[in-house]
Every structure is written in C-alpha cells, then in structure tokens.
Chain A
Amino acid sequence: GNSVTQMEGPVTLSEEAFLTINCTYTATGYPSLFWYVQYPGEGLQLLLKATKADDKGSNKGFEATYRKETTSFHLEKGSVQVSDSAVYFCALRMDSSYKLIFGSGTRLLVRP
C-alpha cells in the first residue's frame, strides 16, 4: 500500500545550521506531497506542497522538491532558527482520494 517514511528524530542543530529532513514515499501512482509543521500545543499547519514531479514547494525559507525517480520529498532550510523547533510531518495524498497518509514525524530542536 501507499506509505511515507521519514528519518528518525530528534534532529538537534545549532542556530544557522543547514537542515535536511529526509522523506521517501511508496505509492501506486502520482501523489501530491506535503510537509506539515506542528509547534508545541498546536495543530498541524501546512508548510509547503508539491503536486507533480520536479515541482519545488517553498515557504518561510524551507524548500522541498518532488523527485519521482527517487520517490523522495526531502525538506531543506539553509539557516535554521530557534523558532523552527517543532515536529515536521511528511504526507502524501493520491489523486481522487480523501486520504492523507502521514509519516511518523521528525522532531527538530534548534539550540541558540
């Protein structure tokens, strides 16, 4: 079946470090891909999305490129801030489907 695999956390970085959170997917078809962020005590917020191969989603300095050949959607940011500390979820949604399939989440901790 369709699934999403994320790297295990927590990821601990110093402020201004480069961030990569890996996400790979398995899907029978061509899904739309999403990154969500969850700050402590809050719900999930959409961070970025990409709906077809080679699309790049970007928001708030974060980027992710939809790579069909490697079935990946890795999240990157050039210089993280303390305020980026949160849990990040990769998710996919198949065409004509209600279902959003999540990875298990990766906790990011950024130290000053």
Chain B
Amino acid sequence: AQSVTQLGSHVSVSEGALVLLRCNYSSSVPPYLFWYVQYPNQGLQLLLKYTSAATLVKGINGFEAEFKKSETSFHLTKPSAHMSDAAEYFCAVSGRSGGYQKVTFGTGTKLQVIP
C-alpha cells in the first residue's frame, strides 16, 4: 500500500523567505512523486514530478523538490516566497495497481505569504 504524509496543514512565511513544504511517502515499489498546486477556486496544476531520473527536480514558478530515498521524503522548496505563491499544495505518490496508475494524494498544505 502507498501513502503520503504532509507535515503541517498550514504554513506561513514572509515574502522573500524560504518556502519549505514537507512530504513523506510510503510505497512498496519505487515511486513516482508529484507536487500539485491548487489556487483558490481552481483545479490542481502540476508543479513538478520525480520519475526516477535526477533526484533534484525543478518545476514551474521557481519551485524544486529533492527525492531522498533514505528519508522517504520529497520536500518542496522555493528560495524566496512571492505573494502569488499563496495556495494549497498537494504531494502525491503514484504506483502500479494491477498494471495501471494509482495516485494517492496527501492532505494538502495551505501556504500563506505575509507581506
């Protein structure tokens, strides 16, 4: 069985400060990992994904995440927060179930950016 744990349902940072959103996963097979962002009243949009190539993955809007197998983590970071980064962020793990994709989402982390 696979699962995702996002630590902290709400995170507040000052504009210009480092953003760190935590995600730990559990998977019985090498996982594919995703970060999605959801802006208010919108659907989810892919930020970045790890598919067993480089462990440091760069995404859109200056975000990146590092896959650490030993820590079963895939934390999302951004060096300098911008007001437009305020949104909810979801970590997800994808694995095979009967040969097809099965995606499990975390509970989400709401990021507040303080001016």
Asked if A and B bind, the verdict is no
